[in-house]
Amino acid sequence: MPVISMFYGLIVSMYYLDNKQHHFPHIHVKYQNDEAVFKIPDGILLDGSLPTGKIKLVSAWIELHQDELMADWELASQGQKIFSIEPLK
C-alpha cells in the first residue's frame, strides 16, 4: 500500500487494484489507532472513523487535490506506479 501523503499525523494511502470492496475511487487514511476510507473526489467517509477534526482536514485536502487523486486512482486501478501528493500545510 503506497503512501501518497502525510500531514498532521495522518497517513494517506492508496492500494493498487483496490476497487472490489468499496466500488468507488477512494483513499485509506490512518491516524494513530484509527483508520478510515474516503471516497474521491468528493471526500465522503465510506468506512471507519477518525476524530472529527482529522476528518475535516482530510476532506479539505481531498478538495484541494481532487484532480491529482483521480489521476493516481486511474494509475493504481491499472496496477501502475502512483505519485505522491503535496501534504496539507
Residue 42 lies in a domain: yes
Q: Report the alpha-carbon distance of residue 89 to residue 86 in Å, rounded.
A: 9
Enclosing domain of residue 13: 3-77
- Which pLDDT tens digit goes with each residue over 4-21? 999 999 999 998 776 666
pTM above 0.95, yes or no: no
pLDDT at 25 over 80: yes
What pLDDT shows up at residue 23? Answer: 73
Confidence at 22, pLDDT banded by 50, 70, 90: low
- Of 35, 30, 85, nearest to 63 (Cα)? 85
Please give the tally of structural domains in the chain.
1
Residue 89 lies in a domain: no
Residue 48 lies in a domain: yes
- Which pLDDT tens digit goes with each residue over 28-62? 999 999 999 999 999 999 999 999 999 999 999 99
Asked whether the beta carbons of 25 and 13 are under 8 A apart, the reply is no
Q: Is 19 left (phi over 0), alpha (psi -120 to 50) or beta?
A: alpha
